[in-house]
Structure 1
């Protein structure tokens, strides 16, 4: 058996998406998105997608690069996955070694990785020198079966729109996203996301469903939203739900998410997934209110690359 680690090629899109979905079944992922992320990532992210090939078959991949949204230099990511039936043969180690070498060459000092909370995955991370940090949850909602709870009317002066209504000028959504994301718990601060990078990373991604992304407008501003990403095959992912600081504690994020979920069900989505930091109590409470059930836990691991 020979293991080859190489750069992703467009012909690998189907296999790369399939192996990642097999390893992390809670993700809403398509081959189109995998290929798009490689070609459209912001330049300062220095994104690279590696694939591991065994006897001519892609069995895993590693997405790696620099956190472009953070002002702190040297912070990098390396998120790898190997198909369950191909583990224990060295593909993961080969991917990680190549990715870390690439990041070291870029001058990165710290590598962050998301790792599923199972003995094999966490053991792999620890054997390779990674230390456990914070945790996050994947949650699932059966949209086809559950009755979505009703909400009181929107506050006076507030109205619901969709991201499609901002197609000509999405900057109000960028301003809202930056403010909301700045207060999310996490290891890496999102304090340096410029508009062009935001467009590249989020607005133009092929799985963004603008018709299902709901926005609350009030006082002439976009003040809350719930971002919908779908695979157009019935699976829905909440990309971000947030509210401007001055408009919090009014139930606006819940209103936006409720509207988005209802639109998604009418559009034929049957499963909804989301991911939340374990310390994001407000969002976990909102998701629990809608009926989301925790499906899995993952941990953030990090390693000092300068050791």
Structure 2
């Protein structure tokens, strides 16, 4: 067996997306998304993927980059995926070493990783010096069973993001809501041009299924819809700006978005929740979401 680790190339997109789907079945991973991410190597995230090959066949991938939206400098991420049948043979360790070396070369002093809540994956992370942080839950719902959305109250207007007169309205709401998002890394330092490049122009962002509630000309609440344009729907960030909370707007936009996803032909929706976010977990439970898996965020201080 010959194991090699090398940078991702465009020609790898189909094979690497299959690796990601094999290792993370509920992840939206398309060749188009991988090529788009790779093209952002010179952007502020400095995204880069490394591929582990066994006898010339991709067996694993490490996705790396900088957490550039945080005001705290020196933070990076490394997320590993190895095909289930190839685990325990050195591909993960080789990828991790190369990924950490890349992050250190970018000036990162701390690496964050999302680790599946399985004994083998947790043991691997801890064996390599990573310390456990917050837990996230992966939830899934049957869109056919999702309840219909309530009627908006007077003064509230539901729109698809595609119908916004200016995407800056969503940017301002996203920046505002992200300051309160539970987590270990604050995400509050992204300019409008970088936000457009990183989020608005993502190939998996479905602007028709991303739903906003407008109040007095601003986005008061929103929920992000991500799809592979074919089979898989993922509900991304959902949030309400502080002056508009406790009015049921998060429920309104999320139920409307799920209804639109069902009408578009999607059968299921997946979302991720911080395990400590009781309010959102409660809302998702009433919408039919049930826990199907979990992950932990781990971190390691990189050698200088």
TM-score, normalised by the number of residues in structure 1: 0.96
Distance in 2, Cα, partners of 1:22 & 1:185:
29
Q: Which residue of 1 aligns with 2:93?
A: 93
Query: 1:41, CA displacement in angstroms?
Result: 5.6
User: C-alpha root-mean-square deviation of aligned residues, in Å?
Assistant: 1.2
Give the one of 241, 245, 250 matched to 1:244: 241
Give the distance between the partners of 2:200 and 2:40, measured in 1 at CA: 11
Q: How does 1:189-268 map to 2 (within 5 A)?
A: 189-268=186-265
SS for the counterpart of 1:64 is strand
8 Å CA contact 2:158–2:211 kept in 1: the answer is yes
Q: Tell me how far apart the structure 2 counterparts of residues 83 and 116 of structure 1 sit (CA, whole Å).
A: 13
How many correspondences in the alignment?
304
Equivalent-residue separation in structure 1 for 2:74 and 2:205 (angstroms): 29
* Partner secondary structure for residue 209 of structure 1: coil
| Aligned equivalent of 1:160 | 158
Structure 1 residues 171-227: Cα deviation after superposition (integer angstroms, max 9, x where no partner): 000000011111011111001011111111110001111111111001111111111
Aligned to 1:15: 15
- 1:62·1:95 contact (CA, 8 Å) conserved in 2? yes
Counterpart check, 1:56 vs 2:62: no
- Cα shift at 1:29: 2.0
TM-score by length of 2: 0.97
* 4+ aligned runs moved over 4 Å, structure 1: none
Deviations 1:44-83 (A, max 9, x none): 2121111111111011101111111011111110011101
Structure 1 counterpart of 2:183: 186
Kindly indicate whether residue 105 of structure 2 is the aligned counterpart of residue 108 of structure 1. Answer: no
Alpha-carbon shift at residue 154 of structure 1 (Å): 1.4
Q: 1:152 to 1:46 in 2, by over 3 A?
A: closer
Report the Cα offset of residue 235 of structure 1: 1.3
Structure 1 regions of 5+ residues with no counterpart?
none
Tell me which residue corresponds to 1:173: 170
Secondary structure in structure 1 of the residue aligned to 2:166: coil
